[in-house]
Amino acid sequence: MEQQESRILFKEDFSIKVNDDRKPLFYLFDYGVRSDAMNMEFQHFHDFYELFFLVDDHAAHIIEGEYFSLQRYDLVLLKPSSLHMTMYPKGERPKARLIVAFRISPSLSPMERQVRRLLTLFDEDPPIFRFSGSVLQKIMQLFNAIYILGTELQPGYELMIHG
């Protein structure tokens, strides 16, 4: 029997930022609720990686001009310079999402080879992943652990988030 899904602990308009986005090591966790009124007009790109985690029931993402319909808990991986935009359904209630923007230079890590290998996931076509069961539970636990670190702000929390 599959475990009951846990819920994400992040609160609306909550963010955690570790370092400036121009640093070689940077993280931003941004939880928010968006509606069609916030749909982007144009695709955009940035020079860091982005994970888009749809917490709500459905939305859409355009990546390099290709349309993708998303379901609850889909994880979209966007590599630097990838044109993209999120679209929320017109006339529906706002949708919750968690964005994790980050930059990590593999050469900063003593595990450079492993970091490079992990980042190859961003090259998947399409770069959208759907998890269930224990894998989804683990993802939710990790996001919630990061949320707790970001709310308690204990000494060394940035290093723990990096870990």
Q: Which two tokens stand for residue 88?
A: 């929320």
Q: 3-state DSSP call for residue 149?
A: helix
pLDDT at position 71 is 96
What's the pTM value of the predicted model, to 2 decimals? 0.89
> Would you report the helix, strand and coil content of the chain in percent, each value rounded to 5?
25, 35, 40
Q: How far is it, in rounded angstroms, from Cα 163 to Cα 160?
A: 5
Q: What is the pLDDT of residue 5?
A: 52
Closest Cα to residue 29, out of 154, 156, 149?
149
**Could you list the pLDDT tens digit for every one of the 163 residues in the chain?**
344 457 889 988 899 999 988 888 899 999 999 988 777 788 899 999 999 999 999 999 999 999 999 999 999 999 999 999 999 988 889 999 999 999 988 777 788 888 889 999 999 999 999 998 999 999 999 999 999 999 998 998 888 888 7
Which residues have a Cβ under 8 Å from the Cβ of 72 and sit 6 or more positions away?
Answer: 54, 55, 56, 57, 58
Q: What is the pLDDT of residue 67?
A: 95
> What pLDDT, on the 0 to 100 scale, is given for residue 24?
86
Q: What pLDDT shows up at residue 3?
A: 43
